[in-house]
Amino acid sequence: MNRFKTSKYKNTTPKIPKKDDWIANVRGGSFSSQGKHIKSSCSLVAFNTDQAGGGMIGLSSVNAASDGKWIVTQISCHADLVTDLDFSPFDDYLLATCSADETVKLWRVCDLDQDQPNNAEVTLSTADGRLEIVLFHPVASGLLAVASARGVQVWDVTRDAALTGKHTPSDKKLRLFDPRAQPSAVQCVQGHQGNRDSRVLWVKDDNLLTTGFNQMRQQEVRLWDSRKLSSSLSSLSLATSNATLMPLFDPDSGLLIVSGNGESVIDCFEVNSSEPFLSQVSHCLTDVLTRGVALVPKLALDVSCCEVLRLMQLTDNFIVPISYQVPRKAGQDFHVDLYPDTVGHTPAMTAEDWWKGENKQVERVSLHPNKRPKPAAPSAQETKPKDHLPRDKSKEEASTSSSPLSTPSSSAAPSRSPSSTSGLSSSFLPSPSQSSRAIHSMLGSSSKFRHIQGAVLHRDTHITNLRGLHLTTPGECDGFCANGQCVAVPLAIAGGQIAVFELSQPGKLPDTTLPTIQNSVNVADFCWDPFDTHKLVVAGDDAKIRMWQIPKGGLTETLTEPERVLRGHTEKIYSIKFHPHASSLLASSSYDLTVRLWNLETGEEVKRLSGHQDQVCLSVYGKLLATVCKDGKVRLYDPRKSTLPVQEGPGPEGQRGARVVWVCDGKYLLVSGFDSRSERQLYLFSAESLASGSVASAPADVSPSTLIPFYDPDTSVLILTGKGDTRVYIYEIVPEAPYFMECSSFHSSEPHKGLCFLPKAECDVCDVEVARAIRLGKTTIEPVAFRVPRVKKEFFQDDVFPETAVWWEAALTAAAWLSGSNGQHRKISLRPKDMMPVSEAPKEAPVRKYLPSSVYLEEKTDEQKKEELLSAMVAKLGNREDPLPQESYEGVDEDEWDD
């Protein structure tokens, strides 16, 4: 019977507040460490931040301030990256941090309206290499466990040396230790099969839960009996992903939270005592990528709205509070079954008692509003904080005005209205009375490409064993170039050599020397002719442009003589671009501060544009040419009318270079550059008014490489990445606010040289593939598909595949364009002949979806409830005017009755 017992958490729903109620001014970023990136006490939340200055952390309040605004402050903690942090379970204001600088520090932090400490209360020097994890003991005060790549140490914070240390080899095994009894492991068993990061934590009934990867590179969750580790009790495989799973467990409810670092999915499971050991409660899909998740302690929850869990999700720019609420009637009733007694704030013993062998449990307290204990703020009379942390008197007096724990305010606890479900897939449907416009205004703009997924194609399509790759091409160069048939990569060999590979011939390259193109000088930039898949144009350091014709089928011998050489620039060329419509028309920019247009058929320079004062990056669209210059200006040229710019406006403030691309049918210019703090930024300019500056901007992250943009005019999807990055940003660009609509990012396991996108005809439309790129790794060339998840894949998704321009065919010649013509590409449909468009698909009969009764009860007045209850009863009884069944029965005549 237990197997079919319904869980009280079955309909638990994650609720996300509107974006205005998120904690802003957060610089989350991606950190390469094993520890938590965010941790919460009942009063404060601490998190890693990538602000300049090394080992910094941020602090904010768990609950909103009285004016509805969140306060965020930073503390400079270590000389190197903060790898992990943890609040004491017995003191909301005692924070431990560890770092790559091999130290652990304990901080007496304050409420946010006070000055935070400049120095740590205690510093522990472990001398054990880079530290990865720090963790307070859940029962004993002043006791810390610290882990590094070499092993684990246990510290009493009042002593100068570790109590004990354990060596833990990195062999992917699960071990149990009794640190007070013996140095070796009590039990040891092989853990997850995948050779990637794993996590472990204790769950109910003395069981252990681990997360990792299986041999199929799928994320995996396993449950173990700590008394018998010979095999796991249960295992659950999730998605195929490179993201490390970060688990959190609430022992009171038995709910397990699992999220992937760099993913937008947060799953909730219930851990059961019998089969099924793991049952899914909810699947939450957020708008932003997770950098870390913290569980708010039970004493800070709002029991009045049946909140059983609260998460603090760390993202690149925000902390998002996510409230898990059981759909029950809210009010004055305290639901005892949802809120068993929880652990209090008083330690069960000291570190010394624990080391002597005592085993006690922390006293449990009630969460009932009338019985819930009120935590005492640190007072000036205290000689030591609750964790027996030695402090200097002057420091103690400076931190005596900590605020008492308050009940979460309404702004911190998300409401039960439909607006609180922004950014997730919920089992609750909007009220039938809501119009689509009202829903749109509540949820905000949403892109149909919001959940776009990038995936590296099968290894059979890769070119491997690539050796001698040139990794230091100039910033204005894309690093390599590809079209539908060939890919060209620069090699770190004298003479500016370029290797060319046919995409139709994947596999392992031979160890022998490959035939190449020899340019005699260092290569500055190169690109394929968009209308000739075997014509490669190369710009060199000698101010010359060389044209090469590659034999069909690939190089069979080394080429040393170009088909044509263009001469005219007086200094090094750093950027070349083909005209997207006219054949044989090339634009180039040089250190001689000119932009020149060339007719490749004649080899002549046809236009020379001036007006720049520094290095230039350019983009051609139709009759116009746009440039972004390191002198801080964005310029627009009409080359056939003037050699000087027709418009000019302020560009990115950063002096580290930028890229420009035309978007929204030529109405806007998208510039990826740097701001005044050298942080990567995206800017959108109106092509009609450059002088007024950017109309919108979007922050990216901190990195030295310029983001290289690719724009798909069919879908308005913008895809960006930098050389040496592991993340690919994706946006949908719209010609009105909010302009930038962020979509899911693609993350690669290793840094890449860059991405080059192929013609739309190379996409597999049957798999809803909207873009295909070639990814250049250190030794591999890999195709990457970007797909939009759809259910009815048997139909052609014509809403994401409009007729596409045949941009791999010329619309006119260079001579025709120079004479004033403006050709446009013809368009074709990508729909296969045997596929029906989804817009013409037969409509399915609507299936009535029933909501939990609690939803109706909470959203309607008493009168509405009575009316609906009465209507339901009448409908069940049927029409009362119909004859009753017995009225149709035939009786006997009156005279047949006996007197």
Give every residue of the chain whose pLDDT is below 50, as ranges: 1-4, 53, 65-67, 378-388, 390-444, 879-880, 885-887, 889, 897-899
Closest CA to 140 of 342, 351, 362: 351
Distances (CA, A) of 517 to 524, 526, 789: 14, 12, 41
What is the length of the chain? Answer: 899
What is the CATH code of the structural domain delimited by 13-350? 2.130.10.10
Burial of residue 19 (CB within 10 Å: 0-12, 13-18, 19+) is middle
Q: Which residue has the tokens 């890229």?
A: 659
Burial of residue 852 (CB within 10 Å: 0-12, 13-18, 19+) is middle
Do residues 768 and 797 lie in contact, with contact meaning Cβ atoms separated by under 8 Å?
A: yes
Q: Which residue has the tokens 């004062």?
A: 613
Distances (CA, A) of 495 to 521, 528, 549, 590, 667: 5, 20, 18, 21, 42
Do residues 534 and 506 lie in contact, with contact meaning Cβ atoms separated by under 8 Å?
A: no
Q: Is the pTM of this model over 0.85?
A: no
DSSP letters for 305-373: GTEEEEEEEE-SS-EEEEEEE-----SS---TTT---EE-SS-SEEHHHHHTT----PPEE---TTTPP
Pairing of strands 564-567, 573-578: unpaired
> What are the residue ranges of CATH 2.130.10.10 in the chain?
13-350, 453-805
Do residues 47 and 146 lie in contact, with contact meaning Cβ atoms separated by under 8 Å?
A: no
Residue 491 DSSP label? B
Residue 850 DSSP label? P
Specify the pLDDT at position 404.
31
Task: List CB contacts of 183: < 8 A, sequence separation 6 or more.
Answer: 164, 166
Specify the pLDDT at position 430.
35
For residue 344, give the amino acid letter.
Answer: G
CA distance 625 to 608: 12
For residue 738, say if its preceding peptide bond is cis, omega within 30 degrees of 0.
yes
Do residues 392 and 106 lie in contact, with contact meaning Cβ atoms separated by under 8 Å?
A: no
Instruction: Please give the CATH topology (third level) of the domain spanning 453-805.
Output: Methylamine Dehydrogenase; Chain H (2.130.10)
Give the H/E segment covering residue 805. strand 804-805
Specify the pLDDT at position 424.
33
Specify the pLDDT at position 859.
56
Specify the pLDDT at position 56.
78
Burial of residue 435 (CB within 10 Å: 0-12, 13-18, 19+) is exposed
CA distance 617 to 626: 8
Specify the pLDDT at position 289.
87
Residue 21 DSSP label? G
| Angle, CA 126 vertex, CA 124 and CA 130 arms, to 5° | 115
C-alpha 855, offset from chain centre: 32
Residue 20 DSSP label? G
Q: What are residue 540's DSSP bridge partners?
A: 523
CA distance 127 to 674: 39
Burial of residue 886 (CB within 10 Å: 0-12, 13-18, 19+) is exposed
Specify the pLDDT at position 4.
47
Neighbouring C-beta atoms of residue 484, cutoff 10 Å: 15
Burial of residue 74 (CB within 10 Å: 0-12, 13-18, 19+) is middle
Closest CA to 28 of 50, 53, 54: 50
